[in-house]
Chain A
Amino acid sequence: MKKYISKMFLTIVLMLALFACTDNYQEMNTSPNDLTQVPYKSLVSHAQNSILRDYNPILGGGVAGWARYNVRDVYVHGDRYSGDGSGTNFNQYSGHLKDLQVAIKLATAANDANWVAIAKIMTAYAFQNITDWYGDIPYSEALMADDPENPNIFPKYDSQKSIYTDLIVQLKAANAMIDTNKSAGSADIMFNGDMMKWKRFANSLLLRVYMRMSRVEPATAKAGIEEIAGNSSTYPVINSVTNAALKYWLPGDATYRSPYYMIPGQNAIQETATSVFIVNFMKERNDMARLAVYAEPAANSGEYVGLPLGTLGVNTPDLSIMGIKEFRSADSPTRVMRYSEVLFIYAEAALNGWNVGITAEAAYNDAIKASFDEYGLEIGDYLSYPKVKFNGAANQRELIGEQKWCALYPDGSQGWSEVRRTGYPVYVATEEPVGTLFPGKGVIKRMPYPYAEAIDNPESFAAAIAAQPGIVDEKFGKGVWWDVE
């Protein structure tokens, strides 16, 4: 018995001893679920998808409403400016901006200049959108939590002016390093590796950057725009609707359908009512061809009927909603930057007296034509309508502002920024929403900073607020740096 028991215990002990080995702990603690190394192209592809979805919101309830493109018909408190810092975040930084930063490092190490350029252009595009929304944001010290030399989890906020200055540097550098003889391949889910398209996009984006700062830094803007316009071999820009920066999706893949795809039968429950201002704006100019693309007629009346921002209680079937074919289909492209915008920039530059090799009127007319052309429409006699005609009675600067705003539909981010910059259309730039929750405080001037910043980055945030006096209730009062209209 005694022997038997001894053996039994010995067996248990040996079994325990067999397991008692910690040599495999490092392997055990390596995640079997995620990778620790990935190709940099896959990071950029991911970022491209994320960026395109983040900065082109075209539905009501945010920038698209503030630009008076699309508005909501119920839960209108968002359109009435109820949004506050509890509903915003800076997750673009930890998301696509961080992925792009890592990709730039890896692509640089691999001497893959075209991919460095793509990542830099996407980064600049994202940062311009973010700073245009908020004003001063972390930039020079951003994304440095894991920096080997200067790790920083409390990045300071940079002035919008300094960010714009660097965006120019970055975009020019990206343009210079592109080798158009080499394709970036299909991992570039935006332009399928076409580096000429990247060059055109980068330089057109530069034009957008210059023009946006043109009221506060006219000399820089003038020099920059003239340099691009005067040297199309170094700075090719988008010069036709076919090489515009449009992103086409995979309509067959539920994950990568056009972001605003909606099942056709469900229109009535979607919050995409067309704003009354753009409907009437187009009607007043007999712009029925583009209106038919922008919006669907109301289900009940068959007429184009818009809804004023902030209005509750009009029956949806009595309203127009956003056009299906170009914007809400599974294969609708996302319009990142269009040929018409480049021409509108030239028109405005020429009107400023800058030398862009084209007159303001010619550029203005071409821009509107390009907008029609984008949808395969004939312009007819649109350019001669009194409220459109460049050499008519109307203020030419206002005409450019209005038509550019109209052509940018439904890109809420760009539409809202342009309205804030130019002050046109006047109604959009000045009229409070119906039933605004902040009567007397005017139209929204900026996105409210995330409340999380007051907790997670308190000193930098406080300094940023101090550096931008005049903000009222998080979103009114003083606009961003370039917003001086």
Chain B
Amino acid sequence: MKKTLALFYLVLVTSLSAFSQNRTVSGSVSSSETGENMAAVTISVKGTSTGTITGDDGKYTLSVPATGTLVASFIGMKTIEVPLSNAAVYDFILESESLGIDEVVVTALGISKEKKALGYAVQDISGEVLKNSAETNVINALSGRSAGVYVNSSNGNVGSSSRIVIRGNRSLKGNNEPLFVVDGVPIDNTIVESKRGNYDFTDMGNGAADINPSDIADMTILKGGNAAALYGSRGANGVILITTKSGSKKGFRVEVENSTTFSNPLLLPDYQNEYGQGGGQQYWYKDGLNGGKHDGVDESFGPRLDYTVKAEDIVSGGKLYWAVQAGFPQTAGQILKLPQFDSPIDPATGNRIPTPWISHPDNISGFYETGVTSITNAALSNGGVWGNIRLSITNSNQKGMTPNTDQIKNTFNFSGKSNITDKLSFEAKSSYINVHGNLNGSGYTFNNVGMGTVWSARQADWAYMKTHIENPDGTPISWINRFSNNPYWTQYRNLNPQSKNRFIGSASLTYQLLDWLSVTARAGTDYSNEQVELIRAYYGINDREGRYGVTNYFRQETNADFLFMAKKEISDALTISGSFGGNIMNNKYNSQNSYVDKLVVPNVYSLSNAKETPTTTYYKREKEIQSLYGAASVAYNNQLFLDITGRNDWSSTLPVNNNSYFYPSVTASWIFSETFDLDPNLLSFGKIRMGLAQVGNDANPYLINATYSAATPYGSNPLYSLSNTLPPANLVNELITSRELGLDLKFLNNRLGLDLTVYKSVSKNQILSATISSTAGYTSQTINAGQIDNNGVEIVLTGKPIETKDFSWDVTVNWSTNKSKIIALNGDIQSLELYKAEGSQITVVAAVGGAYGDMMGKGFVYHENGKPVVDANGVPLTSDVRKLGNIMPDWMGGINNSFSFKGVNLSFLIDAKIGGDIWSRTNADGWATGVLKSTIGLNAKGNPVRDPLEDGGGYLFDGVFEDGSPNTVYKYLDDFRWNGFAAGERWLYDASYVKFREISLGYSLPLNLVSKAKLRGVDLSLFARNIAILYSKTENFDPEVSNRNATQESQGSEFGSNPSARNIGFRVKLTF
């Protein structure tokens, strides 16, 4: 391969030839709509790098060859080509482009193509749209925007991760997320989590969230295999191409922009406010360690809140006689008084003086603050014939909804292009990103107050805890000292600091070898160094002597590639273009974690402040892929297009004898509206397209050999154990074959459009770690597994119901569905465990004949009359493990409406995800702890369900006995709540939702007003996001929020995530 590459270059390099300019032409460009001259229009000689742009006066001069074609182009306008004649002046009048038919999109390897020539579906999203969504994580901004694109945000914490999947999950256990490519350089989108055992978990976000939306010029989503075939393995799940902004084309320009967003919880659980802490309707506080009556119990099955004592309650045998007996006399007609954690201490006795036992309905809602995100961006740019340059500085300052959480992100973005000669250009783009802040815990951890809300007694006064965080000796003041810290103490003392430096940069040289041939060489790197600390203060529940841990992550991916591009018009009707390139990708990852379990000096966080020897672990990983690829396109008469690609990869992660694999793709499209002379008033555009593509995929590093991992040595004895993953017998590459058929139609002079895509992908030989019965000696084995098929339909409808001079209304509807089917697994394996959902009651599997993400667990046993069967004790029967649901939605869709009236733009987006299931630990735990409203109310007898059975209370499960007759056995809820019957099905919810996702109102000040202020533009906008759940079937949680973070294992269950945020904000942009 080495020699082949070198030879190839030599041949091409030696065939360099030169040509020269010989005269000068000039002219002006104006707009057909306004009649005014237009600045910054590109004037070039077709097929060469010769070109210029018009100045502020709309005029240009350009040195041109004797023959050729002069081209005038401007984004959003139709390109005009004029053959050069003897004339010296060429004027152009540009018309605006209608509905994107002639739109140019960036495709694989950065090759720009006319959208109409493509044989596959792509979706282009402008930087403005992304920015207007006011999301700091660019993935979230895609929610509901694009057909077939599934976005999953994790929660409302600052810096939390999000996940994106295009056209369903092709890989059973691998990464299903698309490849992110920024200015031609693939970047890392790993979800980073910091965790220790089961106590601490912090979602540190995903890599793509570092991309600054203010710097994005354009984003293209390449959905299918064809679109991504040239990116190889990692493009198998689609590719998201991001082009950052370049310098302006018409001289010096300054833009200053600020957006400010306010965030509040969208949805909090429905809490009860009738019963406080304790058990058996009894409670009094002594030490919060169970020294009082149930004061070490963190459940809300205690006495009634706000209860006015009756005379009969406090005599012997009365309901509250226990309180009197415990030494807390009550007065009839007054509210019950009990010693509580915040009751004053009687100096004489040292005991707490009883205080009224009252509800605090705002204890949790009051905890969440208004989050504020302020993004300020300043950009300088300049441009001309010599090239262009842009420098942008962005400060994003995010203060979370939970106290003391924040994330500050500073981005320095540079882009420059130098036209060294008329044939040689050099381009460099780079971003330096610095992120730091203090993030919130997430998942099932005591350091996630979100989880704590489900385990927090309802009477506890959080407002008191906010102002009384700790005692003078540093010990937390909490409503319970046995299980939970004061939530504010947790927020202010137990920290999860993050600090990251990231550099993404690329440099490329392009040389126009011949008028039909150019070559580009490029090198790019994505380098990041991230430090995540874990700070746990002295006296915490799980860390009495504190704890400090620090993890350093180092990631680097370097890509070096070359690409030859050729384009030749054989005749007026026939154009042939092709490209050939090669790439070396090297990916390195190291992580080093050190921690100390116990600190000598409280609250000094350093590895040297250690009572015990610090523990350090170090992990490193490297992989490399080398590739050669090529593409050829034929365009006939501007109506028939054919594209062929091929790529061969050599991957370091596969066995040496199997490490080379080739995969091709082919697409074809036919613009039949050009072929037949159709009435554009009826059918203005019609295209049919089809594609077939294969994408190969390699493995993770180090899967081939069995390894032994070390444990802490026992004294001087080393301890080793065999890895739990059985290495594969003979690993081969994965191969995904996808087919795609599409139809693009425009009607009524492009007023109405339909874009329909039907696809099928077949993934074979997936490399995955299959969970096996641990009784076989391993918990998993690495295999090449069978086949998973994905079939889907995507529809995009566009319409312009109203279009007048001053007013227009645009509607875009997208709808998509994806069905996966497991055709075969490996050998005798009929069912593959993907992961266990939060709480372990649900196992998410892929079973032969089933779909990706089937949820298995124990459910009810149903009578033929449809009701769950209960046993003689009134307890529901629990079935064997069976299929209960599936994590993936049936379909997704979005409707975007935008209105434009004299510089005022209003748009709103509603999106829906219908189907799929989610298991709710909030409801499971909240029912057991008694904090939710679902644990109170009256039973069929009209008595409180929580009352003892002898008082007519009790909970009656709505089921039937085996003979079909209704259940009649009431259960004492205080005891019964822990019965885990049918727990898989019982807490499983339909995850469907319809959300009012986004609304924005924008206004650009009239130019005559602006120019008086010596400005070029003033843009104002108001926006809101994640505004309301219009429809859902879940209780107490937002179905969009997943557990812990946005990784695959967090899908299909939720628990204790902080609520998602409803964001409202404004933006001001000034252009100088």
B653 proximity list for chain A (CB < 8 A): 29
Interface pair B714/A45, CB less than 8 Å apart: yes
B716 proximity list for chain A (CB < 8 A): 186
Interface pair B774/A94, CB less than 8 Å apart: yes
- Does A111 make an interface contact (CB < 8 A)? no
A315 proximity list for chain B (CB < 8 A): 286, 290-293, 296
Contact with A along B282-298 (1 / 0, CB 8 A): 10001101111110110
B61 proximity list for chain A (CB < 8 A): none
- Does B348 make an interface contact (CB < 8 A)? no
- Does A181 make an interface contact (CB < 8 A)? no
B724 proximity list for chain A (CB < 8 A): 94-95
Can you name 8 extra interface pairs (CB under 8 A) apart from A6-B14, A31-B701, A46-B720?
A14-B6, A15-B560, A16-B582, A84-B980, A93-B774, A146-B777, A269-B289, A313-B280
- Does B778 make an interface contact (CB < 8 A)? yes
B829 proximity list for chain A (CB < 8 A): 153
Of A21, A187, A455, which one neighbours B881 at CB under 8 angstroms?
A: A455
- Does B624 make an interface contact (CB < 8 A)? yes
Q: List 13 A-B contacts (CB under 8 A).
A: A6-B16, A21-B1, A28-B701, A30-B702, A30-B705, A42-B719, A43-B721, A96-B721, A187-B717, A437-B976, A440-B873, A452-B843, A457-B773
Identify the closest chain B residue to A434 (Cβ). B975
Interface pair B707/A36, CB less than 8 Å apart: yes
Interface pair B778/A146, CB less than 8 Å apart: yes
Interface pair A26/B656, CB less than 8 Å apart: yes
Tell me, in angstroms, the Cα distance from A256 to B719 when the chains sit together.
12
- Does B562 make an interface contact (CB < 8 A)? yes
- Does B983 make an interface contact (CB < 8 A)? yes
B window 675-723: CB within 8 A of A: 701-702, 704-712, 714-723
Interface pair A452/B833, CB less than 8 Å apart: yes
A33 proximity list for chain B (CB < 8 A): 618-621, 702, 707, 709
Contact with A along B757-774 (1 / 0, CB 8 A): 000000000000001111
Tell me, in angstroms, the Cα distance from A263 to B598 when the chains sit together.
12
A14 proximity list for chain B (CB < 8 A): 6
Within the complex, the shortest CB–CB distance from A107 to chain B, in Å, comes to 14
Interface pair A153/B292, CB less than 8 Å apart: no
Tell me, in angstroms, the Cα distance from A87 to B582 when the chains sit together.
51
Interface pair A80/B978, CB less than 8 Å apart: yes
Within the complex, the shortest CB–CB distance from A136 to chain B, in Å, comes to 12
Interface pair B620/A316, CB less than 8 Å apart: no
- Does B555 make an interface contact (CB < 8 A)? no
A74 proximity list for chain B (CB < 8 A): 290, 296-297, 482
Tell me, in angstroms, the Cα distance from A456 to B706 when the chains sit together.
22
- Does B111 make an interface contact (CB < 8 A)? no
* Interface window among A98-106, A221-229, A373-381: A98-106
Of B509, B560, B778, which one neighbours A98 at CB under 8 angstroms?
A: B778
A26 proximity list for chain B (CB < 8 A): 656
Interface pair B843/A313, CB less than 8 Å apart: no
A window 73-119: CB within 8 A of B: 73-74, 77, 80, 82, 84, 86-87, 89-99, 101-102
Within the complex, the shortest CB–CB distance from B294 to chain A, in Å, comes to 5
Contact with A along B1-43 (1 / 0, CB 8 A): 1110110011001101010000000000000000000000000
Tell me, in angstroms, the Cα distance from A15 to B10 when the chains sit together.
13
Of A29, A84, A98, which one neighbours B652 at CB under 8 angstroms?
A: A29
- Does A143 make an interface contact (CB < 8 A)? yes
- Does B622 make an interface contact (CB < 8 A)? yes
Of B14, B291, B721, B773, which one neighbours A46 at CB under 8 angstroms?
A: B721
B710 proximity list for chain A (CB < 8 A): 34-35
Of B582, B718, B776, which one neighbours A155 at CB under 8 angstroms?
A: B776
Tell me, in angstroms, the Cα distance from A22 to B661 when the chains sit together.
14
A313 proximity list for chain B (CB < 8 A): 279-280, 282, 293-294, 297
- Does A288 make an interface contact (CB < 8 A)? no
Interface pair B714/A10, CB less than 8 Å apart: no
Interface pair A454/B880, CB less than 8 Å apart: yes
- Does A234 make an interface contact (CB < 8 A)? no
Tell me, in angstroms, the Cα distance from A435 to B612 when the chains sit together.
43
- Does B95 make an interface contact (CB < 8 A)? no
Within the complex, the shortest CB–CB distance from A191 to chain B, in Å, comes to 13
Within the complex, the shortest CB–CB distance from B833 to chain A, in Å, comes to 5
Interface pair A82/B707, CB less than 8 Å apart: no
- Does B499 make an interface contact (CB < 8 A)? no
B window 597-639: CB within 8 A of A: 597, 612, 618-624, 626
Tell me, in angstroms, the Cα distance from A253 to B292 when the chains sit together.
36
A22 proximity list for chain B (CB < 8 A): 1, 626, 650, 652, 659
A86 proximity list for chain B (CB < 8 A): 839-841, 983
B window 263-315: CB within 8 A of A: 279-280, 282, 286-287, 289-294, 296-297
Q: How many A-B residue pairs have CB under 8 A?
A: 313
Tell me, in angstroms, the Cα distance from A19 to B6 when the chains sit together.
12
Interface pair A473/B776, CB less than 8 Å apart: no
A268 proximity list for chain B (CB < 8 A): 287, 289-291, 482
> How many chain B residues have a CB neighbour from A under 8 Å?
112
- Does A137 make an interface contact (CB < 8 A)? yes
A window 264-293: CB within 8 A of B: 266, 268-269
Interface pair B6/A38, CB less than 8 Å apart: no
Interface pair A45/B717, CB less than 8 Å apart: yes
B521 proximity list for chain A (CB < 8 A): 9, 12, 16
Identify the closest chain B residue to A473 (Cβ). B878
Tell me, in angstroms, the Cα distance from A253 to B296 when the chains sit together.
31
Interface pair A452/B773, CB less than 8 Å apart: yes
Tell me, in angstroms, the Cα distance from A315 to B724 when the chains sit together.
43
B582 proximity list for chain A (CB < 8 A): 16, 20
A92 proximity list for chain B (CB < 8 A): 774
Of A9, A91, A137, A144, which one neighbours B519 at CB under 8 angstroms?
A: A9
Within the complex, the shortest CB–CB distance from A168 to chain B, in Å, comes to 22
Tell me, in angstroms, the Cα distance from A443 to B709 when the chains sit together.
41
Identify the closest chain A residue to B771 (Cβ). A456
Interface pair A35/B717, CB less than 8 Å apart: no
Within the complex, the shortest CB–CB distance from B121 to chain A, in Å, comes to 33
- Does B856 make an interface contact (CB < 8 A)? yes
Interface pair A31/B705, CB less than 8 Å apart: yes
B window 95-110: CB within 8 A of A: none
Interface pair A154/B778, CB less than 8 Å apart: no
- Does A5 make an interface contact (CB < 8 A)? yes
Tell me, in angstroms, the Cα distance from A49 to B712 when the chains sit together.
11
- Does B364 make an interface contact (CB < 8 A)? no
A80 proximity list for chain B (CB < 8 A): 978
A38 proximity list for chain B (CB < 8 A): 708, 718, 720
Most B CB contacts (10 A, CB to CB) among A77, A145, A453, A458 go to: A145
A window 391-417: CB within 8 A of B: none
Closest 5 CB pairs of A and B: A34-B707, A77-B978, A13-B9, A457-B773, A143-B777
- Does B473 make an interface contact (CB < 8 A)? no
Query: Given known contacts A29-B702, A34-B707, A454-B881, is B620 in contact with A16 (CB within 8 Å)?
Result: no
Within the complex, the shortest CB–CB distance from B1053 to chain A, in Å, comes to 13
Tell me, in angstroms, the Cα distance from A312 to B719 when the chains sit together.
41
Interface pair B9/A9, CB less than 8 Å apart: yes
B873 proximity list for chain A (CB < 8 A): 439-440
Contact with A along B871-896 (1 / 0, CB 8 A): 01101001011000000000000000
Interface pair B776/A143, CB less than 8 Å apart: yes
Tell me, in angstroms, the Cα distance from A187 to B716 when the chains sit together.
9
Most A CB contacts (10 A, CB to CB) among B562, B776, B779 go to: B776
- Does A32 make an interface contact (CB < 8 A)? yes
A73 proximity list for chain B (CB < 8 A): 290, 296
Within the complex, the shortest CB–CB distance from B420 to chain A, in Å, comes to 9
- Does A466 make an interface contact (CB < 8 A)? no
B708 proximity list for chain A (CB < 8 A): 34-38, 43
- Does B584 make an interface contact (CB < 8 A)? yes
B626 proximity list for chain A (CB < 8 A): 20, 22
Query: Given known contacts A86-B983, A452-B843, is B707 in contact with A17 (CB within 8 Å)?
Result: no
A77 proximity list for chain B (CB < 8 A): 928, 978
Query: Given known contacts A77-B978, A91-B779, is B13 in contact with A25 (CB within 8 Å)?
Result: no
